[in-house]
Amino acid sequence: MKTLAHRNIPITIIGGGIHGVSIALRLLREVPRAAEHLAIVDRHPRPLLAWRRKTERQGMTFLRSPAVHHITPDALGIVAYAERHNRTSELAPPYSQPSTQLFWDFCNAALPEIAARRVYYPFEVAKLRWDKGAGRFPFRLISMDNEGFRSRCVILAIGADDCIYMPPEFAAWQRQWPDKILHASQFSVTCIDKFETCPDKKSKIVIVGGGLTAGTLAQSLSERGQAVVLIARKQLKEEQFDFPPVWLGPKALAEFASELDFQRRYETIQQVRGEGSITPGIVEALRNAPNIDIYPETCIRNIVAMGECKPAQGLQIETTRGLIANVSRIILATGYQFTLRHYGFLKELMAQHQIPLVCGLPQLDNDLQLQPIENLFGSGTIAQLQLGPAAGNIAGASLAYERLREKILPQILRAA
Ligand SMILES: Cc1cc2nc3c(=O)[nH]c(=O)nc-3n(C[C@H](O)[C@H](O)[C@H](O)COP(=O)(O)OP(=O)(O)OC[C@H]3O[C@@H](n4cnc5c(N)ncnc54)[C@H](O)[C@@H]3O)c2cc1C
């Protein structure tokens, strides 16, 4: 494979997840010769690997979003793929949500477009520099191995995985039992056999959270025969989607854009997305499962080790609803709290150019540009203050591309 070292690349996308790949596929289909001017860099060896692993680790069987939200520009692409392969039974009612396997297979069928064009490079960006006076390629990207290349335009499609949220009250307990108290992103349902710690096999896994990750994990573990207690601060909220679909339409987005106070925009997003919800199908499965106890409106007061459970001790949890004994693991399905400050490779750039943040998010301009840096763009959660509550979802990638294309297509034409 050609390396990037010392090259000048007109357009670089940092992040080969759903957003980076969606933008690249849209660009490549719109302007086939873009391949000569484009690089997608990611710390993983293959595109979409991180997302695929996340869904596998949770045991997610169906997507939450409808079939029209995926990685290629043809909205009915997955439906047509399902029809061609006699797999329409994997489009679930009521909104044709695709099975995870169907979604992956569809993505795998599209990824050869990226492979054939040789635009994907395993490359973890350790530092991003911008020197306005450095000519046509003012960005310098430096890898963990100190390999560097230059770029004219950079799109940050970095997701939110580097920003896991652990509620502060768990910090001391987590330090005491780091192998037993984990964030959901560090846990895989496929490993439960290894995790059983009590010889009587009556151990429970406690999941903390009221969102879809908590619900999916509880369902997957229960189906694997594991007793689960689901603890949520509020009543479980049932919603098919994690944001109302009006947020994909021009009216809601125009109203959002008319709010000039970015702090208020942030508050709107918080209100719209709420603290998490679970799809009706999963809530029903949780309620019917014989080995899941649901503790809504419950807080954890204390966690202690159970002395008699050897060799590895289980935990006992004191909650506002009583004690839970014999706990082998506590999984914090407490989500992510995006802040650009957690992305070490941007630290120097942010300090040097004083990029203003509102609650951790940059105030991108209408073209998704991180002012004051010209030709540095964002897609995904990073673009929430411009694209609203859908920005970080799969559908957010097409919203982002609509804004970006006006800016990035001329970069290709200039490079030609
Ligand atoms: C289990 C699960 C189920 C979901 N289901 C849905 C759903 O049904 N519908 C929906 O709309 N959304 C869903 N989501 C949300 C979904 O994750 C996002 O829509 C999507 O993954 C966001 O894509 P992204 O490209 O922004 O981030 P990611 O997919 O996380 O990709 C970001 C990429 O950036 C790379 N990266 C970051 N920093 C660097 C660096 N310094 N150098 C190199 N590479 C870097 C990472 O390696 C990663 O590959 C789900 C999420 C999860 C976890």
d(CA 216, CA 104): 18
Beta-carbon count within 10 A of 324 CB: 21
Give the closest residue to 213 by CA, choosing from 157, 269, 270, 286: 286
What is the number of the ligand 1 atom nearest to the C-alpha of 58?
1
**Under a CB-based contact definition with an 8 Å cutoff, are residues 312 and 137 in contact?**
no
d(CA 108, CA 39): 19
| CA distances, 340 to each of 127, 351, 355, 359, 370 (Å) | 14, 12, 10, 9, 11
Q: What number is the average pLDDT over the span 378-403?
A: 97
Tokens read off for 186: 């560090």
d(CA 59, CA 80): 25
Strand-pairing partners, residue 24, are none
> Quick one: pLDDT band at residue 197, thresholds 50, 70, 90?
very low
**Under a CB-based contact definition with an 8 Å cutoff, are residues 367 and 377 in contact?**
yes
Q: What fold does the segment set 165-242+277-332 form as a domain?
A: FAD/NAD(P)-binding domain (3.50.50)
H helix intervals, 9-127 = 18-30, 49-58, 77-84, 100-110, 112-117
Nearest protein CA to atom 1 of ligand 1, as residue: 55
pLDDT of residue 415: 65
**What's the CA-to-centroid distance between 323 and ligand 1, angstroms?**
36
Helix, strand, or coil (residue 65): coil
Q: What number is the average pLDDT over the span 391-410?
A: 95
Helix, strand, or coil (residue 342): helix
**What's the CA-to-centroid distance between 101 and ligand 1, angstroms?**
17
Which residue among 13, 14, 18 has the greatest number of ligand 1 atoms within 8 angstroms of its CB, and so is best to mutate? 18
Nearest protein CA to atom 12 of ligand 1, as residue: 393
Q: Which numeric CATH code is attached to 8-162+337-415?
A: 3.50.50.60
> Quick one: pLDDT band at residue 199, thresholds 50, 70, 90?
very low
Q: Which residues line ligand 1 (CB under 6 A)?
A: 14-20, 41-44, 50-51, 54-55, 58, 60, 63-65, 69, 124-125, 157-159, 161, 345, 380, 392-395
Q: Is the pLDDT of residue 195 over 80?
A: no
Tokens read off for 165: 């949220």
Beta-carbon count within 10 A of 175 CB: 9
Q: Is the pLDDT of residue 414 over 90?
A: no
Q: Is the pLDDT of residue 310 over 60?
A: no
**What's the CA-to-centroid distance between 124 and ligand 1, angstroms?**
16
Q: What number is the average pLDDT over the span 38-57?
A: 96
**Under a CB-based contact definition with an 8 Å cutoff, are residues 11 and 153 in contact?**
yes
Pairing, β 315-319 against β 148-156: unpaired
Q: What number is the average pLDDT over the span 111-134?
A: 94
Q: What number is the average pLDDT over the span 341-347?
A: 96
pLDDT of residue 198: 44
The domain locations on the chain are: 8-162+337-415, 165-242+277-332
Pairing, β 227-231 against β 148-156: unpaired
What contacts 132, CB < 8 A, 6 or more positions away?
138, 374
Residue 368 backbone phi and psi in degrees, to 5 = 70, 30
pLDDT of residue 312: 60
| Whole-number percent of the chain with pLDDT over 90 | 87
Q: Is the pLDDT of residue 274 over 90?
A: no
pLDDT in tens, 285-306: 999 999 999 999 999 999 999 8
Q: Is the pLDDT of residue 22 over 50?
A: yes
Average per-residue pLDDT for the chain = 93
Q: Given this chain, do its domains 8-162+337-415 and 165-242+277-332 carry the same CATH topology?
A: yes
pLDDT in tens, 152-188: 999 999 999 999 999 999 999 999 999 999 999 999 9
pLDDT in tens, 53-101: 999 999 999 999 999 999 999 999 999 999 999 999 999 999 999 999 9
**What's the CA-to-centroid distance between 288 and ligand 1, angstroms?**
31
pLDDT of residue 410: 83
